[in-house]
Chain A
């Protein structure tokens, strides 16, 4: 089973700053099967990034994804107040199905 490990667990930043979140896989992941989701308290997750680097419909261009192999990154270029939330990476492997990372919490400093 592929395990996704996200870091940091919690990131404290101010609006306007840049956020960088990491997702490391225990085995090589095909980029086309790597996604990022945002989740706010009491809400369902929202798809942000698919195929490691493509923004989902309606996602602002301050969100970007990059990486390949076992290391992937979600970057938020200039934080807006509504960006403070939990972020999860997710991968799909044909034998095990989908797995999610443990999440990174982005909080206001």
Chain B
């Protein structure tokens, strides 16, 4: 069965970077795109970007362009989201989600990133 498991919670200082991983299993990783979505406390879901796991092409939300880098390691069936120049407003739960035939059909459990001095 399809499973997506994310790395654990992180605490970072303002100005630092964070890298969250997302390991997929139960399907052919390179056949699907992986998206990243975040949710600040009490806020709406916010799309950050995606990667074509096959060819590595990426597309980012204009809001995060220049600050986010999404990558993948096909040998490990793992996608990564790197967010730099962190500020307090980046405190959120970060999710990865597989883009299936119909939509974002399988999600990771979420990774809480806390930015605090």
Residues of A within 8 A of B (CB): 1, 35, 37, 39, 44-47, 50-51, 54, 56-57, 88, 90, 96-103
Contact = CB atoms under 8 A, between A and B. Distances in A.
Interface stretch (B7-15, B24-32, B41-49, B75-83): B41-49
Contact of A96 (B62, B97, B103, B108): B62
B102 A98 contact: no
Interface string B87-117: 0000000010100001111011110000000
Interface in B28-65: 35, 37, 44-47, 49-50, 59-62
Residue of B60, B102, B108 ringed by the most chain A CB atoms within 10 A: B102
A79 to B, nearest CB: 23
B109 A44 contact: yes
B62 A44 contact: no
A96 B61 contact: yes
Contact of A102 (B35, B44, B49, B104): B44
A1 B59 CA distance: 15
B105 A56 contact: yes
B45 A50 contact: no
B59 A97 contact: yes
B45 A88 contact: yes
Contacts of B109: 44
